[in-house]
Copies of this chain bind each other. A is one copy, B any other.
């Protein structure tokens, strides 16, 4: 049934809504696709629901095509399975918890690994039942600290989550690959520009993991890739290779020097160059120094643990990379009161002399992999106003391990050795994980193998942000006048505008527009029909551009000469077409694009 603007539940807005920051989000609100109900919680108005359903249908078709089976778990879930997997605690403040009238604990599902695992455990018992892939398209909940950007990071949102179950690692590889290929087809059909990048698996545990990012300046994720196309990774997942070991046998002994008033790398470098010139005449740079950064980890159970990170002085610790490494712990600043508890830490002059679990501070100490064995550094001497020079890693100090937490920069060497990295931003649209046996072990999902032996099942977990996809498509398909929907997800195939003022005066225009609308519908097209009376042509044109259906058919004055206008919303191109050929022309456009 055509959506007639005279009765469609829609009110377009000329002004930008106060609570929308991004251009696509503003347009989705202004054009009447969505409305905010609470922070990070949205209502889907009729037009928005049409787009959402089209995205869902594409996802469903491609999941069905790889043999994944759809089911639907509840959104309101009992605590116990999430207790067994430890996620009840690990999620911290990020999930919504509630109690029922009997004081039993529930949560609103953030993802459903536990429930799928239990369902398979409940129903299957043999290797012969596997492989198996299951999925659902459903409301998910996360109590985001900073819900942002409309549908991009909501607190109630729609996700397709699927899970694969296999007995062997090879089976998991195959299931993972099938999902990867399905995702490629899905994102191709949705009309995104996207990249597939290596990713961290985060709170999920597991091993191999990739993200599908929509390339977008407004994305929250930063990724890097090299020119050759041999390497692409979410910045959190970049693994900088450990620097090659250097033979330190001929290096001078470490020596402490006075470096008054040098609490920062910048002041240190200038004092070094002024008072402690290098024997080979080269200038000291920040890259010659070893900066020791302290943070406080807060574990899900509330315990606080200090952590020291050593990075070359020309790099900062990247908060997101650090969080990805230490999760589910959260990272807080190391504050004055924390320093007070560790008097051996000389703020601004902290060195490896006191760091490390077996040294005086007892603070765990992790190094950036660029701090190679045998490399020499200028670093704090654990006394205000003093630094130590020629301190050699492995000879003069050791750490408790390495950590991938230093910032990754444009122009850094590609970890695969193939050229340099370029950074860009993206929106995480999909994420595929090889979960492995973590959840199956926690929930005791085992099946009998060919030899009658119980083996633990290995799982994959695969997500697509369905409501987020609508937002990402909007952000990537717009201009100053409004949205421009790709054919596959447009709320309607064609938007018919009758420019007449009212049916009495402009009977022919309305009659022809009615007739075309019916003809389009009879041909199976979805139609928005602007049949409003007493609304000026200007307002109708503006609304049609704001709403963003790709093909706009204008029935107006030229009808006297048997002419109707077809406008391409994306290119802006308008062409006059004899009224008798409009149907064929529009059908050709719609079918050509979706073929």
Chain A residues with a Cβ under 8 A of chain B: 1, 7-11, 32, 35, 37-38, 41-46, 48-49, 52, 64, 67, 69-78, 93, 96-98, 100-101, 106, 108, 115, 119, 122-124, 132, 134, 139, 141, 143, 145, 155-156
A245 to chain B, nearest CB (A): 46
- Is A64 in contact with B1, judged by CB distance below 8 angstroms? yes
Q: Contact between A69 and B8 (Cβ–Cβ < 8 Å)?
A: yes
Question: A38 is contacted by which of B8, B46, B74 (Cβ under 8 Å)?
Answer: B74
CB of A240 to closest CB in B, whole Å: 34
A75–B75 CA distance with the chains assembled, in angstroms: 10
Give Cα distance in the complex from A70 to B45, angstroms: 8
Copies in the complex: 2
The residue from B49, B100, B115 contacting A143, defined by CB atoms under 8 A apart = B100
A260 CB, min distance to chain B CBs, angstroms: 46
Q: Given A8-B69, A37-B115, A96-B100, are A75 and B139 also a contact pair (CB < 8 Å)?
A: yes
Given contacts A45-B71, A46-B70, A71-B43, contact A78 B134 (CB under 8 A): no
How long is the Cα–Cα vector from A7 to B75 in the complex, in angstroms?
A: 26
**Contact: A9 with B101, CB < 8 Å?**
no
Contact between chains at B43 and A101 (CB < 8 Å): no
Partner of A76, one of B71, B106, B134, B141: B141
Contact flag A98-B96 (CB < 8 Å), given A44-B72, A69-B46, A78-B37: yes
Q: List 15 A-B contacts (CB under 8 A).
A: A35-B122, A37-B74, A37-B77, A38-B76, A43-B72, A43-B74, A46-B70, A74-B156, A75-B139, A76-B108, A76-B155, A93-B101, A96-B100, A101-B143, A101-B145
A401-B124 Cα distance, complex, nearest whole Å: 63
Give the distance in Å from the alpha carbon of A122 to the alpha carbon of B43 in the complex.
12
Do residues B9 and A77 form an inter-chain contact, with CB atoms below 8 A? no
List of 9 A-B pairs having minimum Cβ-Cβ separation, nearest first: A98-B98, A11-B123, A38-B78, A44-B72, A93-B101, A41-B74, A46-B69, A76-B156, A9-B69
* Docked complex Cα distance between A75 and B38 (Å): 11
Q: Is the CB of A9 within 8 A of B123?
A: yes
- CB pair A124–B37 under 8 Å, yes or no, is no
A71 surroundings in chain B (CB, below 8 A): 9, 43-46, 48-49
Collect the chain B residues with CB atoms within 8 Å of residue A67's CB.
7
Contact indicator B49/A70 (Cβ below 8 Å)? yes
Q: Which of B37, B73, B132 contacts A37 (CB 8 A)?
A: B73
Contact A43 B11 (CB under 8 A): no
**Chain B contacts for A123, CB-based, 8 A:** 9-11, 32
The one of B45, B106, B132, B156 in contact with A9, judged by C-beta atoms closer than 8 angstroms, is B132
A101's nearest neighbour on chain B, judged by CB, is B93
**Are A43 and B73 CB-contacts (below 8 A) given A1-B64, A98-B97, A119-B35?**
yes
B-side contacts of A43, CB under 8 Å: 71-74, 115, 119
